[in-house]
Amino acid sequence: MAISGKTVVITGSSSGIGAEAACQLARQGARICLVARREDELRQVQNSITRAGGYAWVYPADLTDEQSLGDCAEAILADHSQIDVLVNNAAHSIRRPVTEALDRLHDYQRTININYIAAVGLTLKLLPRMLEQGAGQVVNISTLSSQVPIPLFSAYLASKSALESFSRSLLAELGHKGIDVSVVYFPMVRTPMSARTQIYKRMPMMDVEKAAGWIVRAVDKRPARVGSPLGTVGSVALAALPGPVTRLTQPAFRQMDRLLKRASGRS
């Protein structure tokens, strides 16, 4: 009953976690607004939902383009009198050492544009409707890697950390007005995005179905955080002793990287 009948907007829902979460939520009676760049893939997800008896609408958009984002939000608001949940799932990740990105400021710019600016932009467009209703929820997708000192993902982690800070501010300002904010801290998930990194092919990862279930849990229970015990411990340790924790964990991460590279070379 916490999900049935709700109108849920999910970005990055043409494939991977977003598509699976859309299908799982639709099976529980949610009305799904599918948002991503690739309309043909969105239609496939829509067809899967409708064949199973659910309801889904398609809104193709490039969320890094302000005009496209605005048109998308306007269309959603025109089609649906109530917006209950926004899931900011669309994301881009880059795995690259800082020393190899010295002349690649665009890595940081394009990552922040989709992971942070686009999420904030769509939130700002849909928030007035939620405030009018006196209730709403924003679910922002982050990563376990922002809870522990992970190397090689400086652009990605900086963008996710910004989104987490925005989430906390949003809840602090509007929680008393019925706006809930949840942050989902995923570990590595076996998706098309992670598959682009060759050395991760042999690394144990969460499957897409389980990851999507975490989003469903966020919508159902509306907690401030959904994540793993490891992430919680990492957050506490990093907040208490950032210097020592960062220095002590780095040899382990370097060794893991070497082992993954060897395994990838044998595949």
Task: Report, as residue numbers or ranges, the catalytic residues.
Answer: 156
Residues 6+ apart with CB under 8 A from 215: 17, 21, 24, 25, 87, 89, 139, 141, 184, 226
CB distance 38 to 192 below 8 Å: no
C-alpha pair distances (Å), 70 with each of 74, 85, 88, 143, 238: 6, 18, 15, 27, 38
- Return the sign of the alpha-carbon dihedral for residues 212, 217, 223, 227: negative
Check: CB of residue 231 under 8 Å from CB of residue 148: yes
Q: What is the DSSP string of 100-121?
A: G-TT-HHHHHHHHIIIIIHHHH
Distance CA 8, CA 24 (A): 12
Give the integer Cα–Cα distance in Å for 152 and 145.
11
